[in-house]
């Protein structure tokens, strides 16, 4: 195919503790060849870089077979990434990753311009570009991912607000409990993440678990219903029980919603933000959970901040959000053709 009629595309990566996702992203946002592979993070940094290099080197051929010309590589990674595209700090989910100059490694491996950023920052960019905020014309919003931990990103006028070093968005580590707070992986205690992440929800379910597990299935209408006891703690089963009317499951969901709301309320008071995009594993619970959290936010915020209302939008790009967002970080730097 003639070079001149080939469309430009960017290789996007989303690197987490368990999976590396990738895809070839056109300037329109269309994704080709989306797939994922195990991170095998225990094998360490050299292994990870090798995987990225191999994919980076075979991608131009894959792109060409689609009639696309690869013009860059974008990567979102778990951990803190500085403005130079270096991983300043990553937890033990990615052993040895701290200190990796990811942008430079990818540029050397592919000979193409590269962009490296935090994975939640990438997801937020993806949502800002093609997600619900984009379709609503929202230029300012806060992205929060409720997963194993809590990630965050502030989008201001369509751009990531990175702060001095690029690390803004560590909302999960705002302290919500000073006295006797649960200790957090960050070294502090009482962090929001320890009360509102999926792991925190598992802990909450275990704490509220009645001595008779069948109790969770009893509904207000049918207090004698003790069929099919639910093995706990499993958040998905908790939500299933709550949706089918279990009073106990609903009470736990409401308690969790209230804990999530505390952190969001702090963000409303700090940033005067009106729109949140909620991602992460818990976003799969959709409106059932989001409207409970929104109700709690409404109840807890100072009335002057209510404005036209505080809206919680579910993240809409799903598992491709990070790949699309990482690619869009590159598109922002490349000249339009």
Q: Which residues bind Zn ion (CB under 5 A)?
A: 173, 184, 186, 188, 191
Given the complex with Zn ion, which of 184 and 253 has the nearer CB atom? 184
Residues 150 and 197: beta-carbon distance below 8 Å: yes
CA distance 131 to 31: 14
Report, in Å, the least distance between residue 187 CB and Zn ion.
Answer: 7
Given the complex with Zn ion, which of 185 and 295 has the nearer CB atom? 185
Report, in Å, the least distance between residue 146 CB and Zn ion.
Answer: 15
Report, in Å, the least distance between residue 193 CB and Zn ion.
Answer: 6
As to burial, measured by CB atoms within 10 angstroms (0-12 exposed, 13-18 middle, 19+ buried), residue 29 is middle
CA distance 10 to 194: 37
Report, in Å, the least distance between residue 310 CB and Zn ion.
Answer: 24
Given the complex with Zn ion, which of 110 and 197 has the nearer CB atom? 197
Given the complex with Zn ion, which of 123 and 184 has the nearer CB atom? 184
Given the complex with Zn ion, which of 107 and 193 has the nearer CB atom? 193
Given the complex with Zn ion, which of 91 and 156 has the nearer CB atom? 91
Report, in Å, the least distance between residue 190 CB and Zn ion.
Answer: 8
Q: How far is CA 308 from CA 52, 253, 333, in A?
A: 45, 26, 35
Burial code (b: 16+ CB inside 10 Å, e: under 16) for 285-310 equals: beeebbebbbebbeeebeeeeeeeeb
Report, in Å, the least distance between residue 298 CB and Zn ion.
Answer: 27
Residues 63 and 72: beta-carbon distance below 8 Å: no
> Whose structure tokens read 């409303």?
268
Report, in Å, the least distance between residue 145 CB and Zn ion.
Answer: 15
Give the chain's length. Answer: 337
Given the complex with Zn ion, which of 126 and 149 has the nearer CB atom? 149
Tokens of 131: 């997600």
Tokens of 236: 């998905």
Geometric angle at alpha carbon 80, from 326 and 121, rounded to 5°: 35
Given the complex with Zn ion, which of 184 and 315 has the nearer CB atom? 184
Report, in Å, the least distance between residue 184 CB and Zn ion.
Answer: 3
CA distance 224 to 243: 18
Element (H, E) at 61: helix 45-65
């Amino acid at each position: 195919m003639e070079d001149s009629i080939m469309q430009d595309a960017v290789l996007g990566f989303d690197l987490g503790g368990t999976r590396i996702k990738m895809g070839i992203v056109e300037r329109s946002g269309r994704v080709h060849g989306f797939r994922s592979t195990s991170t095998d993070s225990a094998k360490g940094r050299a292994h990870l870089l090798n995987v990225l290099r191999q994919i980076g080197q075979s991608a131009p051929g894959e792109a060409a077979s689609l009639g696309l010309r690869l013009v860059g590589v974008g990567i979102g990674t778990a951990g803190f990434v500085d403005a130079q595209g270096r991983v300043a700090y990553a937890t033990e989910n990615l052993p040895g990753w701290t200190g990796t100059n990811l942008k430079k490694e990818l540029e050397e491996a592919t000979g193409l311009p590269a962009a490296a950023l935090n994975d939640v920052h990438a997801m937020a960019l993806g949502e800002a570009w093609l997600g619900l905020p984009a379709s609503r014309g929202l230029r300012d919003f806060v992205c929060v991912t409720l997963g194993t931990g809590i990630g965050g990103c502030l989008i201001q006028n369509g751009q990531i607000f990175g702060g001095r070093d690029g690390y803004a968005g560590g909302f999960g580590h705002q302290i919500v409990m000073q006295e006797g707070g649960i200790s957090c992986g960050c070294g502090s205690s009482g962090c929001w993440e320890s009360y509102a992440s999926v792991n925190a929800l598992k802990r909450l379910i275990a704490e509220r678990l009645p001595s008779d597990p069948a109790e969770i299935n009893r509904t207000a209408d049918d207090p004698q219903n003790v069929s099919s006891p639910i093995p706990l703690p499993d958040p998905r089963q908790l939500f299933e029980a709550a949706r089918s009317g279990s009073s106990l499951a609903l009470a736990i969901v409401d308690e969790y919603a209230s804990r999530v709301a505390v952190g969001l309320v702090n963000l409303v008071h700090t940033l005067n933000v009106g729109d949140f995009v909620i991602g992460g594993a818990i976003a799969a619970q959709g409106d059932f959970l989001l409207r409970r959290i929104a109700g709690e936010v409404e109840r807890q915020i100072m009335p002057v901040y209510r404005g036209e209302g505080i809206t919680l939008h579910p993240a809409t790009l799903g598992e491709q959000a990070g790949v699309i967002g990482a690619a869009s970080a590159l598109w922002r730097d490349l000249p339009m053709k």
